[in-house]
């Protein structure tokens, strides 16, 4: 039952990720463009050039702010990663106590060698 619920949650997260793939790409491009605009702003010597770069930066910032839905896509990617880790995780075997001294010795020996 746990695997089935993980599969359903993974399917929903995958659909959400695919739906928000466009805004995620556009957000990445706009953040990169903001970086480029900042670098050009710092290189510019004239006041008119700096004003032009600020205007370009504000336009690109508004484009980046309109793609805030990309955060939902990033959260869906994190959920997919978490589901993948839980799906492939191996549980430690539970050792049961017994009265046999040899099994107790082997268990204690294995614990000492860890």
Higher pLDDT, 71 or 50: 50
Question: Has residue 101 got a pLDDT over 90?
Answer: no
Q: Are 64 and 27 in contact (CB under 8 A)?
A: yes
What is the DSSP-derived secondary structure letter of residue 90?
Answer: P
Q: Considering the entire predicted model, what is its pTM?
A: 0.61
* Residue among 74, 61, 77, 75 at smallest CA distance from 29: 61
* pLDDT exceeds cutoff 90 at 42: yes
CA distance 59 to 54: 9
Nearest one of 67, 56, 2, 3 to 29, comparing CA atoms: 67
């Amino acid at each position: 039952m746990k695997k089935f619920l993980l599969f359903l949650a993974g399917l929903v997260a995958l659909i959400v990720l695919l739906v928000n793939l466009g805004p995620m790409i556009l957000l990445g491009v706009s953040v990169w463009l903001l970086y480029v605009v900042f670098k050009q702003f710092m290189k510019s010597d004239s006041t008119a050039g700096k004003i032009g770069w600020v205007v370009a930066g504000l336009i690109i910032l508004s484009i980046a702010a309109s793609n805030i839905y990309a955060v939902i896509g990033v959260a869906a990617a994190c959920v997919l990663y978490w589901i993948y880790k839980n799906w492939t995780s191996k549980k430690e075997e539970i050792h049961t106590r017994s009265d046999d001294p040899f099994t107790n010795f082997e268990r204690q020996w294995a614990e000492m060698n860890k």
